[in-house]
Structure 1
């Protein structure tokens, strides 16, 4: 069968209108195809927007998840998966940044200690999120509740580790302000992303 795009539909005046009526049944399927794609796209993004509105950080949530709309569709499971993946990537990036800072030679003893503590806690956070993603791949079966409980524990632990890293810099006085700003910019965002992922996981668990 010959395919048509939306721009090739006949005009709705004169002879074109007669042809349109005559071929109405043929063009019905084409019209549906043309309108379905934007409708589905709108439904996917609306699902993400509505879901993000129930998190603590709706704007960040929507901004980071919207590019994954075609993968998420309207699936709570895929939403949680995508959110967890984004959180892991952010944690890995933050962990690498802190490791690079720890290699600087002009750090005071307090700064070096706080950064090394942060290296450890962010490494733990990455491990927790990685375990969670692996567990998300095998949620089918009678042990769903047990696996979901493990995932919730790991993601909660990741969030605690990220907060611990930031607290180490908040408590210490007289530290390099530039280092504090850099650490805070990375860790705070990761903490928010992890909070969003945990919200979707908790919702999935209670569904």
Structure 2
């Protein structure tokens, strides 16, 4: 994906966060009803604690909308993938890095790049879902969202596999694994909330 597209996505995300944060902070405080909705919805995910922690910030923007909840989770997942790609890319600058570690990092960056591309497509397709008027049109775009988000999870697993074996043990491996785990959990939770939103449309 061209660099300018990444920059545009980041700008859109920053705007989204600014709006959501402002909404969350408006009035006397965060809506208890919205927080309860997020907590209940996150029970359907594999990592409910992380789900609640990530999304509660945007409670007042989400309210009790499964659509806004899923879209927010997906956008946060994309942002996590972008920041993870930046973090892992910087590891190649470590002094004393071994050739095999360098190659594993390089391969991982490519895999995360695929994750970013697929999550970007998911975000775009989700917006088309929301605009779709006919049933068939909605399900066409929703199917694409589910496919792309699921594929992103596969990329993340492949990235971790590149650091398998004791020879790769050390601070770099630990750092990469930690980032990949968090990214995978965000994506997994987003997919669960997307599927939950889709189930409400049946």
TM-score, length basis structure 1: 0.78
Q: Is the 8 A contact 1:56 1:196 kept in 2?
A: yes
Unaligned runs of 5+ in 2: 1-26
The answer to whether 1:188 aligns with 2:178 is no
The number of residue pairs the alignment matches comes to 170
SS at 2:89's partner residue?
helix
Q: Provide the rounded CA distance (Å) in 2 between the counterparts of 1:54 and 1:78.
A: 16
The answer to whether 1:83 aligns with 2:73 is yes
Unaligned runs of 5+ in 1: 1-36
The RMSD of aligned alpha carbons is 1.7
- Residue 57 of structure 1: CA displacement? 0.6
- Residues 1-207 of structure 1: matches in 2 within 5 Å? 41-139=31-129, 140-142=132-134, 143-169=137-163, 171-207=164-200
Q: Is the 8 A contact 1:110 1:172 kept in 2?
A: no
- Residue 105 of structure 1: CA displacement? 4.9
Q: Provide the rounded CA distance (Å) in 2 between the counterparts of 1:127 and 1:103.
A: 24
The structure having more radius of gyration, on CA atoms, is 1
Of structures 1 and 2, the one with the larger relative CO (CA 8 A, separation 6+) is: 2
Output one character per residue of 1:46-105: Cα deviation in whole Å (capped at 9) or x when no partner.
000000112111111001100000110000000001101111111111101111112335
